[in-house]
Amino acid sequence: MTTVECILPRTILGEGPHWDHTEQALYFVDIKASEVHRYTPATKKETVVKIEGGPVSIVIPVQGQKNKYVITIGRDIAIMTWDGVSSSPSHVERVATVDEVDGKRENRLNDGKADPTGRLWAGTLGAEHGPVDFTPHNGSLFSLSKDRKVTSHVTGVTCSNGLAWSLDNKIMYYIDSLTLKVEAFDFNAEKGQAINRRTAFDFKANGVKGFPDGMTIDTQGNLWVACFDGSQVINVDPRTGKLLKTISIPSPKVTSVVFGGKNLDELYVTSASVDLNKEELAATPSAGCTFRILGTGAKGFPGQSVVL
């Protein structure tokens, strides 16, 4: 039996969940509040750190470096030093900036993830004009190598979002939300190359409500995709393009998902309350909450840290 429970209170724009299997802790961000959150299920303790300088969209530990995390601040990629307890970081070092050209300075970084080699991938979205309204085709998908060099891989992106890699690491799955598709690329992990773009799952063709947002992959090679403005998480087979399962979430703006827990069989789900009016917030008290889903019948993988 599948159960959905709210485990953490409302955020404005909860996003980017990362499960640290060694710590048995969930990290995620509130983009609009410029916050990084850390939650330990065993103790039910949550700590929050405020980041100055702009919206924060990802938090990923740096491999082998205690209290070091890769975060984004606006268009900047940075390394944050944080003890996991304090309300402000002890140090933030900006290491790269993307979209440094006229016409793209109002962009910001959005979703990101480390690939199987520890290389960071993160993309931008166009200037925000309203709910799911961005300057079209103005963003890109980038990678950051160990020597801190930024490479652009996909251009013409409107809202860069979820990332995942196939079990054999030969396919990268990617979401540009406004296309209403999960797409696939042939992936070369050693070279950090993604080519041969194609559709893996089509929201319209399958009658799925909402926009594809963040996603994760399970040990069977199936994807779990958050549906923004869809009040649900869907489970799809990207090899066949088939919808396998739908799980309703009591929050309209579901943003991302990650497997966690001791057995990596608990699905943690972030959501948002952004752009909801007073009446909508009153009608959906769980909007913006972070959820835990039990009984999906699936398991995931430990979160991949960034190698820098």
What local confidence, expressed as pLDDT, does residue 118 receive? 97
Instruction: Please report, for the domain that includes residue 139, its CATH number.
Output: 2.120.10.30
Decide if 213 is catalytic.
yes
Ordered mean pLDDT values, 10 residues apiece, the chain (308 residues): 97 98 98 98 98 97 97 98 97 98 97 98 95 94 96 98 98 98 98 98 98 98 98 98 98 98 98 96 97 98 97
In a domain, 81, yes or no: yes
Residue 304 lies in a domain: no
pLDDT at 138: 98
Instruction: Give the chain as a 3 state SS string.
Output: CCEEEEEECCCCEEEEEEEECCCCEEEEEECCCCEEEEEECCCCEEEEEECCCCCCCCEEEECCCCCEEEEEECCEEEEEECCCCCCCCCEEEEEEECCCCCCCCCCEEEEEEECCCCCEEEEEECCEEECCEECCCCEEEEEECCCCCEEEEEEEECEEEEEEECCCCCEEEEEEHHHCEEEEEEEECCCCEEEEEEEEEECCCCCCCCEEEEEEECCCCCEEEEEECCCEEEEEECCCCEEEEEEECCCCEEEEEEEECCCCCEEEEEEECCCCCHHHHHHCCCCCCEEEEECCCCCCCCCCCECC
Containing structural domain, residue 128:
3-294
Residue 272 resides in a domain: yes
In a domain, 301, yes or no: no
Task: Give a yes or no: residue 158 inside a domain.
Answer: yes
Number of domains in the chain: 1
Q: Does some domain include residue 11?
A: yes
Is 30 a domain residue?
A: yes
- Which listed residue (202, 213, 218, 265) is catalytic? 213
- Residue 130's pLDDT is 84
> What was the pLDDT predicted at 131?
82
